[in-house]
Amino acid sequence: MLWLLGCQLVGEVLVEAFGLPVPGPVIGMVLLFLALQVTKPPEDARLLQTSDKLLRHLQLLFIPPGVGIVVYLGSVRDQALPIAGAMVVSWLAGLATVALLVVLLTRRGTAPEAES
């Protein structure tokens, strides 16, 4: 848990120090990813065990945003069209990105074959 919180703290400090337009936890997640790529922890590492436990309860992390939407329901209702537009555009961007990656990986021959 210390690794997870430590990386988030470092991300928050970097965002505040440099005025980055990215949330601190996102920077922390990138730092954690880089640290895991460099150190290559074993399968029984405490960090991986803690991560698995957190992932089992991932649905609990959706409660605060849900409460925020209920609290600001009036504002959300007033801005429904821009919010819906942003959701559709972001969905299309994600879909296009995945499609592009599939095409690129298929051309390189690294995509796994579909099982029959």
At 99 the pLDDT is 96
**Whether residue 9 is found in the same domain as residue 33:** yes
At 114 the pLDDT is 55
What are the per-10-residue average pLDDT scores of the chain (116 residues)?
Answer: 89 94 91 89 84 86 85 88 95 96 85 55
Residue linked to tokens 């429904």: 80
| Number of domains comprising the chain | 2
At 3 the pLDDT is 85
For residue 51, the enclosing domain spans 1-56
At 112 the pLDDT is 59
At 115 the pLDDT is 54
Q: What is the largest CA-CA distance in the chain?
A: 53
- C-alpha angle 58/31/10, rounded to 5°? 90
**Whether residue 51 is found in the same domain as residue 67:** no
**Whether residue 4 is found in the same domain as residue 52:** yes
Q: Where are the alpha helices (DSSP H) in the chain?
A: 2-18, 24-39, 46-56, 63-71, 73-78, 80-108
**Whether residue 71 is found in the same domain as residue 51:** no
Residues 56 and 63: their CA atoms lie apart, in Å, by 15
At 81 the pLDDT is 94
Identify the three-state secondary structure at position 52: helix
Would you state the structure tokens that stand for residue 54, as one six-digit string?
A: 């957190």
Which residues, 6 or more positions from 3, have their beta carbon under 8 angstroms from its beta carbon?
32, 35, 47
The type of residue at 64 is P
